[in-house]
Structure 1
Amino acid sequence: MKKQVIATLFLSTIVLSQVGNVATISANDTDSKIAAQDEKINSIAAQQASAQAEVEALQGKVNAIYAEQDALNAENERLEEESAQLSAEIERLSADIVSRDGVLKEQARSAQVNGSATSYINTVLDSKSLVDAVSRVNAMREIVSANKRMLEQQKLDKEAIEEKQIANQEAINVVYANKQKLEDTAVELKTQEASLKAAQLNLAAEKATAENEKASLLAQKAAAEEAARKAAEEQAAYQARQAELAAKQRQAVAPVISNTVAAATPAVETPAQAQAATSAPAPAVAAATPAAEATTVATPVVTYSAGNTYPVGECTWGVKQIAPWVGNYWGNGGQWLGSAAAAGFRTGSTPQVGAVAVWTNSYYGHVAVVTAVNGSEIQVMESNFNGNRYVSNFRGWFNASSSGIAGYIYPN
């Protein structure tokens, strides 16, 4: 009996010892899991802080782009208003200059016919009395003085129109540069916003680590990152297209139309032949005779003027590239008829090879150089037609009278 009690006590001691060890192991295991969970939570918090910093950085970039776009749009509105005011002043000065030129030329012709050297003598001899002679001489002096004032005003107006044309062209060029920058930043904005969305979803996924939504958020994050990748590819493609366009603009693709064009042997050209000529590798430049007979002329060698002040890729730039005789600082295409007339160039309504065709049926207007004429049909070389910002023949033959052309500027 005593042995059995001793054995029981011994067994109880062993069991209690083992229970104590299990309790100790269980406590240590719980502490370890708590420590691991704390470490995981701390890690998630650190990741969240990093993701939040990325979101804030991207949001700053997006905000900066929006602010830049707002500033550029505001500047464009101001410059376009300034350009419109300058255009009105240029138009008024141009009309005054042209009108005054006509008066002065008429007076010069009258003086040549009547003999200005004997005007004073004839005036005195034809007078009925001394008082009449003095009155007539004073009247002639007043006419001479008025002509002198007119010439001085003509000089001042020409200087004023030149200054205003330069200021107007500078405003126009800044507007076009701003528009290009807005187009560029719009592409960049799309990329940055896609990246921002990816970062925001990444932050949401990190915050939802302990929730069942994480898998869905991670899928959205992957989709957003894919969208950001595609946006980056689109931006790269856009930049490649811009580089390709710049290369086209640098190419010598348009013949310069000089003041004189060497005519070859006359040849009759039917409308069907004229249409086929547009698809030939090197079309000849042709001018129609009054009897609808087309005359083929040699294509001049391409040269470029170093002094082209117009925005690259615009229609005004393209015409200056093709026909260097046109002036700088003539403004938007719709302003060219008035500017050219003020500069002494002839204008009219009849198409001629080498003339500049002017459209005024839009805010900016449009200009192109006539390269061929066949009755009412013409061909032109131009830039920025249907968004193609380089020089080429984009239209082939078309009807000049129904195309909205306001007039033509002829080389002197």
Structure 2
Amino acid sequence: MKKKLFATILLSTVALAQVAVVAGVSADSTDDKIAAQDNKINSINQQQQSAQAQVDQIQGQVSEIKKQQADLQAENDRLNDESEKLSAEIDELSKNIVARQESLANQARSAQTTGTATSYINAIVSSGSLTEAISRISAMNEIADANNKMLQEQKRDKEEIAKKQKENNDAINTVIANKQQLDDDAQALTTKEAELKVAQLNLAAEKSTAENEKNALVQQKAEAEKAAAAAAAAEAAYRAKQKEQQAAVKASANTTLQAQVQAAAQTPAASGAPAAPAAQATTQTVAAAPAATTSRPTYSSSASSYPVGECTWGAKVLAPWAGDYWGNGGQWAASAAAAGFRTGSQPQVGAIACWNDGGYGHVAVVTAVQSTTSIQVSESNYLGIRSIGNYRGWFNPVNAQGTVTYIYPN
């Protein structure tokens, strides 16, 4: 019995010793795994910090681009309001100038046909008394003062319209430049937002490692990287296209009115319109219009005062006699009239067609004429095509883009 008890105690001691050994081994192994997991977590935390820094950097770039877009749009809104105000003032000044020109011209014609100076002298000589003579002289002085005042007002308004035309042109040019910058920023913003998506998914992938979701997120990251690459390629293609279009626009400036007229002569007659020989189509003249009553200013032959590719730039290239600061296309007829150019409703080869639609309007140079409802023009910025060319063939200009008025070069 004692031997059995001793054996039992011995077996129990051995068993407890084995359990202690196994427990010690198990504890050591768990600590190693915890330490390994801690190292892995620390490594992930460092990667997360790096990824978060990348996200923060790209987010800052996106925010800056959006702020710049908002600032440019606000500036464009302000400049458009300013341009509308200046346009209204220019139109009013133009009407006043044209009205005074007609009044002064009528007085000049009256003086030539009736011999006003002689009539004044006869009126004084034929006075019945000294008092009557003094009264007549006083009345004549008042007429002369009124004429002088009208001439001074004419000079002041012409100086004012020239100043407002330049201010308006500067505002228009800035708006167009801002619109181009907004387009460029939009492309850059698309690329940056795609890059931000990649950085965010990269951060999410690092954070999800412990939840075994990394594979799915890595796939999303790969797709986002592909989208970012596509966005970058699209931006590169956009910029290449912009550069190509700019080169084509500048190259088109080497053309001349004569070349465009010759090209228009080869265009088949409009459907439903009687065919006209080339000579007739390019030399038809307009009905007689009143001759200019004042001398016109001399302008630069360069089209640099208008944004390259706009319809106003194309018209200035083909008609270098046009003014330097005549505003948007819809304002050209009023600006030309104020400068002393003839305007009318009859098309003429070499004349500038000006359409006023209540907005920006449009201008083109006439290259062929069959009738008032069948002409050809050369122009730029028609349907977004910014180089100079004949894009319509024969067409009816009446109400094509608003009310049409022609500006004649002589």
Counterpart amino acid of 1:86?
L
Q: Is the 8 A contact 1:202 1:221 kept in 2?
A: yes
Distance in structure 2 (CA, Å) of the matches to 1:289 and 1:355: 11
**Which residue does 1:345 correspond to in 2?**
341
Counterpart amino acid of 2:31?
D
Aligned partner of residue 370 in structure 1, secondary structure: strand
State which of 389, 395, 400 in structure 2 corresponds to 1:398: 395
**Correspondence 1:18-167 to 2 at 5 A:** 27-167=27-167
Distance in structure 1 (CA, Å) of the matches to 2:223 and 2:19: 54
Structure 2 vs 1, CA of residues 200 and 167 (structure 1 numbering), >3 Å: closer, same or farther?
Answer: same
Distance in structure 2 (CA, Å) of the matches to 1:105 and 1:339: 19
Distance in structure 1 (CA, Å) of the matches to 2:52 and 2:332: 56
Distance in structure 1 (CA, Å) of the matches to 2:57 and 2:106: 72
Q: CA deviation at 1:400?
A: 2.0
Q: Is the deviation greater in 397-406 or in 100-109?
A: 397-406
Aligned partner of residue 239 in structure 1, secondary structure: helix
Equivalences, count:
382
Q: CA deviation at 1:21?
A: 7.4
Q: Is the deviation greater in 397-406 or in 387-396?
A: 397-406
**Which residue does 2:385 correspond to in 1?**
388
Counterpart amino acid of 1:42?
N
Structure 2 vs 1, CA of residues 275 and 204 (structure 1 numbering), >3 Å: closer, same or farther?
Answer: farther
Counterpart amino acid of 1:385?
Y
Structure 2 vs 1, CA of residues 69 and 56 (structure 1 numbering), >3 Å: closer, same or farther?
Answer: same
**Which residue does 2:282 correspond to in 1?**
287
**Correspondence 1:150-189 to 2 at 5 A:** 150-189=150-189
The answer to whether structure 1 residue 379 and structure 2 residue 380 are counterparts is no
Q: Is the deviation greater in 70-79 or in 29-38?
A: 29-38
Distance in structure 1 (CA, Å) of the matches to 2:37 and 2:203: 20
Counterpart amino acid of 2:171?
A
Q: Is the deviation greater in 125-134 or in 347-356?
A: 125-134
**Correspondence 1:246-285 to 2 at 5 A:** 246-252=246-252, 255-257=255-257, 271=270
Distance in structure 2 (CA, Å) of the matches to 1:189 and 1:262: 44
Aligned partner of residue 379 in structure 1, secondary structure: strand
Unaligned runs of 5+ in 1: 1-10, 278-282, 291-303
Aligned partner of residue 347 in structure 2, secondary structure: coil
Q: How does the TM-score come out when normalised to structure 2?
A: 0.84
Q: CA deviation at 1:289?
A: 4.3
Aligned partner of residue 398 in structure 1, secondary structure: coil
**Correspondence 1:276-315 to 2 at 5 A:** 286-287=281-282, 289=284, 305-315=301-311
Q: CA deviation at 1:127?
A: 2.6
Q: How does the TM-score come out when normalised to structure 1?
A: 0.84
Aligned partner of residue 133 in structure 1, secondary structure: helix
Q: Is the 8 A contact 2:48 2:203 kept in 1?
A: yes
Q: CA deviation at 1:238?
A: 0.5
- Residue deviations 1:207-228, cap 9 Å, x none? 1111132222222111111111
Structure 2 vs 1, CA of residues 370 and 329 (structure 1 numbering), >3 Å: closer, same or farther?
Answer: same
The answer to whether structure 1 residue 336 and structure 2 residue 302 are counterparts is no
**Which residue does 1:298 correspond to in 2?**
none
State which of 312, 316, 319 in structure 2 corresponds to 1:320: 316
- Residue deviations 1:333-372, cap 9 Å, x none? 1111111100111110011101111111151111111111
Q: CA deviation at 1:122?
A: 1.2
Counterpart amino acid of 1:387?
G
Structure 2 vs 1, CA of residues 387 and 307 (structure 1 numbering), >3 Å: closer, same or farther?
Answer: closer
Aligned partner of residue 353 in structure 2, secondary structure: strand
**Which residue does 1:355 correspond to in 2?**
351
Q: Is the 8 A contact 1:165 1:329 kept in 2?
A: yes
Q: Is the deviation greater in 208-217 or in 78-87?
A: 208-217
Counterpart amino acid of 2:92?
R
State which of 397, 407, 410 in structure 2 corresponds to 1:409: 407
**Which residue does 1:241 correspond to in 2?**
241
Q: Is the 8 A contact 2:343 2:407 kept in 1?
A: yes
Aligned partner of residue 369 in structure 1, secondary structure: strand
Q: CA deviation at 1:97?
A: 0.5
Distance in structure 1 (CA, Å) of the matches to 2:331 and 2:374: 24
Q: Is the deviation greater in 340-349 or in 395-404?
A: 395-404
Q: Is the 8 A contact 2:55 2:199 kept in 1?
A: yes
Structure 2 vs 1, CA of residues 122 and 276 (structure 1 numbering), >3 Å: closer, same or farther?
Answer: closer
Q: CA deviation at 1:119?
A: 3.6
- Residue deviations 1:225-245, cap 9 Å, x none? 111111111100100010001
Structure 2 vs 1, CA of residues 307 and 378 (structure 1 numbering), >3 Å: closer, same or farther?
Answer: closer
Q: Is the 8 A contact 1:254 1:322 kept in 2?
A: no
Q: CA deviation at 1:116?
A: 4.0
Distance in structure 1 (CA, Å) of the matches to 2:254 and 2:234: 31
Counterpart amino acid of 1:390?
S
Counterpart amino acid of 1:353?
V
Q: Is the 8 A contact 1:275 1:396 kept in 2?
A: no
Distance in structure 1 (CA, Å) of the matches to 2:76 and 2:280: 39
**Correspondence 1:188-207 to 2 at 5 A:** 188-207=188-207
Distance in structure 1 (CA, Å) of the matches to 2:279 and 2:64: 52
Distance in structure 2 (CA, Å) of the matches to 1:401 and 1:262: 21
Q: CA deviation at 1:94?
A: 0.5
